[in-house]
């Protein structure tokens, strides 16, 4: 009998699934009779399971281990069909062979209906009974999802002698007392709802299948519904829901607690694959698992949800991870029968272990070094330009940092806690950031330019423990349910503070901190260089923004790179129209200021605002984004004689973040006549990788022009058109040579556009740009698969990062960027990178900007040019024949279509970066007969 709120359960024997279920190989299905342990008279039950063992036998391969897969509710072993297929295919190709056994739990799938309620402890024992019947030997990797995750972990805890690793998809191993269970489950457990929703009708099953992203096909839905066609066969679905231990007195609470605590003892390699759109097992359950298994590798598949096995290629990720484990240390069985993977226990990604000696050994100093060294100085440390210019001395900044740090400690911020900063660039942001890093908290910085949806993904993904923000950020955090205790940089009336959940203000922290310091309570030990310091989110220009984790040592190395490359240090005045560099000012001992602008809209920066910022701190270095630079040049006519005089004191001018033309850089440099103009190349993962001056850009162009003139003479002495850029056949933007602490290599592209070549400095080889430097990021936050790809092919023992940019080195060692790896066009005649053709098209007088994209399947893609014209078009249309012919002549290779648009779409943060992926999708629609709509 089951719980009173469920219909009376019935018995039914195990059976084989019907033929024709998509993706399910009938060869895998088998039935087995298993004796139930502890039963009187040796009661047996029929189990259905999927097993690729017979296929491996037919291939003549011996498996290196077994993956034991346990489904949740209301799925069945069909969930794991992709892994069975992938593992078998890999074995057939010569890769290490894994036997995959995917069970149908009793009362589920095509296993027997028992007619009795089976609580968690019984289900864990059921699985043990099955593995005993199978005479399963180690090494075993468990893989579970949903409630099957808990069952598989229970088996793992109880079988250390067989266990070699743990893999989990979305699941939960602990439900804190007093915390509400997820709302979909609360609804299903409601009075009068449990039976009708889970057993009498297929509503619970239908709701679960609707959680797939993208939606499941009708055929796959039929596959999941196959074992649950009648209410008599859905009793297990209701039983699983009823077994959720909501109350402390619940029958399964003790077993859940036992497993949750037992998991802490599992030191075997662990992989957590997660769908963050899951309305049931949200990231708070992932946090709990990471806390219990800090050595786990974690990958969050952005956009995926509860049915991760359907939403993403989890099987490829799992097999890659298993392959890495085998490479690092083969699976072995010890003499005592315990399975081990020696050396494969992975360190925590956010371990905190402060050490002053470590800084000396690293040959650098902490970010707050100058705050300590200059704490008695009344010289200006930074200037706030809003609402009116206000200078902040080193003495005051140092004091505020110590006060806020002590206040944060007082309210419970600990080393390793994450603190999301939603504060515009200001003295307050600088003080809060340095206070956080001083006490070992990890700051989370996501640019407001990501937009509300992007910010929500970023903040939820980072799972901050605290959020410190101004009113707009805190209101958004409240409305969108962002996690973390809330702290405001400004005061609110009590009703408003309660409404948005503000627990403390910055003024309160300062007061609490001063009291703590006055009482002699010091700050915690300094973090070590290897401790995590910050999670910085990328721009999101090539997909969802990624969290990039930097250690204290790596952030310190960024400041050192700036000092070595540009001399930014003590006494330097730094104007930063790019927030990260403003925040690094105090770490360099430099005076810093962010000009009066809306940082979420770089084009709001004016030339007058830049001049005012320069004058405020007698700046010698100015850093602006290309998007901001466009408006600075456009508003130069408003500069006064005093503004020109201030700008004349600038010695170095930098602009980076997207490709910048020589003409724009020259126009900006003309406003700062004594400054050397630079355009550095970098990314969030490595902020300063290469550098070139305006003179260097002109020299690179001159070398190309000279080579053109030499090769433009035919054998008969007559001048003929030269091929495009003979000294630089692929074209591209020259970003100069590597900076003082950086190495740059190229991984050549193959015929499919994949970067598979060894890292090389060979000139004129197009491939992915790969960089190494002390200040390259530590890792991506909870993106193990992405991190693995970014380090692929690097030199062992060294930190290398695959940038995702494509380019080449020339014979002088200069780097030329040709586009992004996802934008490479793979035609039947070879690989084409977009920037070179775009540059050549943009030399036409009728073209202001161009984008070059591919349409169609890889290998047979067609090249399409999309143009902004002079004057701008009012609507999208095909280019006139004369313009199209001119474009084709400039490109020099077949162009299927030339299209004109009123404006090219740009990504969300970098107005100067064209969104080629979006244009490719748009052009595909147009050329397939779609409507002429705006891209």
pLDDT, one tens digit per residue, over 606-631 is 999 999 999 999 999 999 888 788 88
What pLDDT sits at residue 340?
41
pLDDT band at 499; cut points 50, 70, 90: confident
pLDDT band at 600; cut points 50, 70, 90: low
Q: Hey, what domains does the chain have and what are their CATH numbers?
A: 26-340 (3.40.50.1820), 356-551 (3.40.50.980), 696-712+723-822 (2.30.38.10), 824-927 (3.30.300.30)
CA distance 53 to 56: 5
Percent of the chain scoring above 90 in pLDDT = 67
The pair of three-digit structure tokens given for residue 256, joined into one six-digit string: 């859940």
CA distance 325 to 141: 11
The pair of three-digit structure tokens given for residue 454, joined into one six-digit string: 């992007």
| Contact of 271 with 168, CB cutoff 8 Å | yes
Q: Which residue has the higher pLDDT, 409 or 460?
A: 409
Q: What is the pLDDT of residues 706-739, one digit of tens each?
A: 555 443 333 333 333 334 444 455 688 899 999 9
pLDDT band at 178; cut points 50, 70, 90: low
First to last CA, the chain: 61
Sign for the CA dihedral angle at 637, 643, 646, 648 comes to positive
CA distance 146 to 273: 12
Greatest mean pLDDT among 33-42, 286-295, 489-498, 543-552 = 286-295
The pair of three-digit structure tokens given for residue 177, joined into one six-digit string: 């007392």
Taking only Cα atoms into account, the Rg of the chain, rounded to an integer number of angstroms, comes to: 31
Pairing of strands 621-624, 573-576: parallel
pLDDT at 247 over 90: no
**What's the average model confidence in pLDDT over 751-769?**
94
Q: Which residue is it, tokens 């509503």?
A: 203
Q: Which residue is it, tokens 């550095």?
A: 680
Q: Mean pLDDT of all residues in the chain?
A: 88
What pLDDT sits at residue 794?
77
What pLDDT sits at residue 337?
36
CA distance 488 to 80: 47
**What's the average model confidence in pLDDT over 862-873?**
94
Q: Which residue has the higher pLDDT, 596 or 433?
A: 433
What pLDDT sits at residue 722?
39
What pLDDT sits at residue 572?
93
What pLDDT sits at residue 662?
84
Q: Which residue has the higher pLDDT, 326 or 295?
A: 295
User: For residue 54, what are the CA distances in angstroms to 84, 688, 690?
Assistant: 12, 54, 55
DSSP codes of every residue in 780-829: ETTBHHHHHHHTTTPPTTS-EEEEEEEEEE-TTS-EEEEEEGGG-EEETT
Greatest mean pLDDT among 69-83, 532-546, 784-798 = 69-83
**What's the average model confidence in pLDDT over 269-285?**
93
User: For residue 833, what are the CA distances in angstroms to 446, 669, 805, 810?
Assistant: 30, 30, 10, 16
Q: What is the pLDDT of residues 808-864, one digit of tens each?
A: 999 999 999 999 999 999 999 999 999 999 989 999 999 999 999 999 999 999 999
Name the 3-class secondary structure at 254.
helix
Within 556-599, strands assigned E span 573-576, 591-593
Greatest mean pLDDT among 83-97, 535-549, 602-616 = 83-97
pLDDT at 84 over 60: yes
- Outline where 489-570 has alpha helix (H): 494-500, 506-518, 552-566
pLDDT band at 330; cut points 50, 70, 90: low
DSSP category for residue 170: S
What pLDDT sits at residue 716?
38
Backbone angles phi, psi at 154, to 5 degrees: -60, -45
Q: What is the pLDDT of residues 888-901, one digit of tens each?
A: 999 988 999 999 99
Q: Which residue is it, tokens 């309160």?
A: 508
Q: What is the pLDDT of residues 111-120, one digit of tens each?
A: 999 988 899 9
Q: Which residue is it, tokens 């591919």?
A: 854
**What's the average model confidence in pLDDT over 663-673?**
91
**β-sheet bridge partners, residue 168:** 144, 272
CA distance 635 to 835: 28
pLDDT at 659 over 90: no
Q: What is the pLDDT of residues 194-229, one digit of tens each?
A: 888 889 999 999 999 999 999 999 999 999 999 999
User: For residue 482, what are the CA distances in angstroms to 244, 428, 455, 460, 490?
Assistant: 26, 22, 10, 6, 19
Give the closest residue to 584 by CA, choosing from 548, 614, 550, 542: 550
What pLDDT sits at residue 661?
76
pLDDT at 528 over 50: yes
CA distance 585 to 572: 9
CA distance 631 to 822: 30
| Contact of 850 with 866, CB cutoff 8 Å | yes
CA distance 800 to 745: 10
pLDDT band at 538; cut points 50, 70, 90: confident
- Outline where 415-545 has alpha helix (H): 427-438, 451-462, 471-480, 494-500, 506-518
Of 540-549, 683-692, 713-722, least confident by mean pLDDT is: 713-722
CA distance 150 to 675: 63
b/e 544-554 (16+ beta carbons within 10 angstroms → b): bbbbbbbbbbb
> What pTM value is reported for the model?
0.88
What pLDDT sits at residue 344?
36
User: For residue 86, what are the CA distances in angstroms to 66, 97, 274?
Assistant: 14, 10, 19
pLDDT at 605 over 60: yes
Q: Which residue is it, tokens 């397939």?
A: 928
pLDDT band at 909; cut points 50, 70, 90: very low
Give the closest residue to 737 by CA, choosing from 657, 681, 792, 698: 681
**What's the average model confidence in pLDDT over 577-604?**
81
What pLDDT sits at residue 907?
59
**What's the average model confidence in pLDDT over 513-524?**
92
pLDDT band at 522; cut points 50, 70, 90: confident
CA distance 84 to 378: 68
């Amino acid at each position: 009998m089951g719980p009173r709120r469920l219909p009376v359960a019935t018995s039914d024997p195990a059976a084989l699934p019907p033929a024709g279920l998509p993706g399910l190989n009938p060869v895998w299905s088998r039935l087995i009779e298993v004796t139930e342990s502890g039963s009187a008279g040796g009661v047996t039950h029929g189990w259905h399971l999927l097993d690729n063992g017979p296929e491996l036998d037919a291939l003549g391969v011996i498996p290196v281990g077994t993956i034991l897969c346990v489904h949740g509710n209301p799925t069945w072993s069909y969930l794991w069909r992709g892994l069975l297929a992938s593992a078998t295919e890999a074995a057939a190709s010569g890769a290490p062979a894994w036997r995959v056994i995917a069970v149908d739990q009793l009362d589920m799938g095509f296993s027997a209906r028992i007619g009795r309620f089976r609580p968690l402890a019984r289900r864990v024992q059921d699985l043990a009974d099955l593995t005993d019947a199978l005479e399963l030997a180690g090494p075993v990797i468990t893989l579970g999802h949903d409630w099957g995750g808990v069952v598989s972990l229970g088996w793992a805890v109880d079988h250390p002698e067989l266990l070699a690793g743990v893999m989990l998809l979305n699941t939960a191993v602990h439900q804190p007392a007093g915390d509400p269970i997820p709302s979909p489950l609360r609804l299903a457990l409601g009075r009068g709802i449990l039976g009708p929703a889970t057993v009498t009708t297929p509503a619970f099953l239908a709701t679960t299948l609707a959680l797939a992203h993208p939606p499941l096909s009708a055929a796959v839905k039929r596959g999941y519904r196959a074992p649950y066609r009648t209410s008599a066969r859905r009793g297990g679905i209701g039983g699983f829901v009823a077994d959720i231990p909501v109350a402390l007195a619940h029958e399964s609470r003790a077993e859940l607690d036992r497993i949750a605590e037992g998991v802490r003892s599992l030191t075997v390699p662990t992989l957590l694959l997660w769908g963050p759109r899951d309305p049931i097992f949200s990231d708070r359950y992932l946090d709990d698992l990471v806390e219990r298994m800090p050595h786990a590798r974690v990958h969050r598949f952005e956009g995926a949800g509860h049915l991760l096995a359907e939403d993403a290629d989890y099987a490829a990720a799992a097999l890659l991870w298993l392959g890495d484990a085998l490479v690092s240390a083969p699976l072995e069985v010890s003499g005592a029968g315990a399975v081990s993977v020696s050396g494969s226990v992975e360190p925590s990604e956010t371990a905190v272990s402060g050490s002053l000696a470590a800084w000396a050994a690293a040959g650098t100093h902490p970010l707050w070094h100058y705050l300590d060294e200059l704490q008695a100085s009344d010289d200006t440390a930074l200037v706030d330009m809003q609402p009116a210019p206000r200078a902040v001395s080193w003495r005051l900044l140092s004091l505020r940092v110590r006060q806020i740090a002590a206040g944060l400690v007082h309210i419970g911020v600990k080393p390793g806690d994450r603190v999301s900063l939603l504060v515009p660039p200001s003295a307050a942001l600088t003080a809060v950031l340095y206070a956080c890093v001083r006490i070992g908290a990890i700051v989370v910085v996501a640019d407001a330019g990501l937009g509300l949806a992007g910010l929500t993904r970023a903040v939820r993904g980072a799972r901050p423990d605290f959020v410190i923000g101004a009113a707009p950020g805190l209101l958004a955090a409240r409305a969108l349910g962002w996690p973390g205790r809330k702290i405001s940089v400004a005061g609110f009336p009590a009703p408003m503070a309660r409404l948005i959940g503000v627990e403390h203000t910055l003024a309160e922290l300062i007061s609490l901190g001063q009291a703590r310091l006055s009482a002699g309570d010091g700050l915690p030990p300094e973090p070590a260089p290897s401790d995590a310091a910050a999670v910085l989110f990328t721009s999101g220009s090539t997909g969802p923004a990624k969290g990039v984790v930097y250690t204290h040592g790596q952030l310190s190395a960024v400041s050192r790179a700036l000092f070595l490359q540009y001399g930014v240090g003590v006494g330097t005045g730094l104007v930063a129209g790019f927030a990260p560099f403003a925040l690094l000012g105090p770490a360099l001992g430099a005076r810093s200021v962010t000009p009066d602008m809306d940082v979420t809209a770089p084009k709001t920066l004016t030339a007058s605002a830049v001049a005012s910022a320069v004058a405020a701190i007698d700046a010698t270095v100015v850093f602006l984004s290309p998007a901001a630079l466009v408006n600075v040049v456009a508003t130069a006519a408003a500069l006064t004689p005093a503004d020109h005089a201030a700008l004349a004191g600038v010695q170095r001018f930098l602009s980076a973040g997207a490709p910048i033309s020589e003409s724009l850089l020259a126009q900006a440099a003309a406003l700062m006549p004594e400054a050397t103009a630079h355009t550095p190349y970098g990314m969030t993962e490595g902020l300063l990788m290469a550098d070139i001056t305006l003179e260097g850009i002109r020299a690179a162009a001159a070398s190309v022009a000279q080579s053109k003139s030499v090769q433009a003479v035919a054998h008969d002495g007559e001048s003929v058109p030269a091929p495009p850029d003979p000294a630089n056949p692929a074209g591209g933007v020259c970003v100069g040579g590597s900076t003082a602490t950086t190495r740059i290599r190229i991984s050549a592209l193959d015929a499919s556009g994949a970067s598979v070549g060894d890292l090389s400095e060979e000139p004129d080889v197009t491939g992915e740009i790969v960089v190494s430097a002390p200040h390259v990021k530590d890792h991506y936050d909870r993106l193990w698969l992405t991190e693995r790809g970014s380090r692929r092919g690097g030199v062992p023992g060294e930190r290398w990062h695959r940038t995702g940019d494509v380019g080449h080195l020339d014979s002088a060692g200069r780097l030329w960027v040709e586009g992004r790896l996802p934008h490479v066009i793979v035609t039947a005649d070879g690989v084409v990178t977009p920037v070179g053709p775009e540059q050549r098209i943009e030399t036409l007088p009728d073209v202001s900007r161009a984008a070059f994209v591919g349409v169609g399947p890889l290998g047979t893609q067609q090249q399409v040019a999309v143009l902004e014209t002079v004057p701008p078009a009012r609507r999208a249309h095909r280019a006139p024949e004369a313009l199209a012919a001119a474009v084709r002549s400039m490109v020099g290779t077949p162009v299927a279509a030339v299209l004109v648009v009123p404006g090219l779409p740009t990504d969300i943060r970098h107005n100067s970066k064209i969104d080629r992926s979006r244009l490719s999708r748009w052009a595909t629609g147009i050329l397939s007969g779609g409507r002429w709509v705006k891209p």
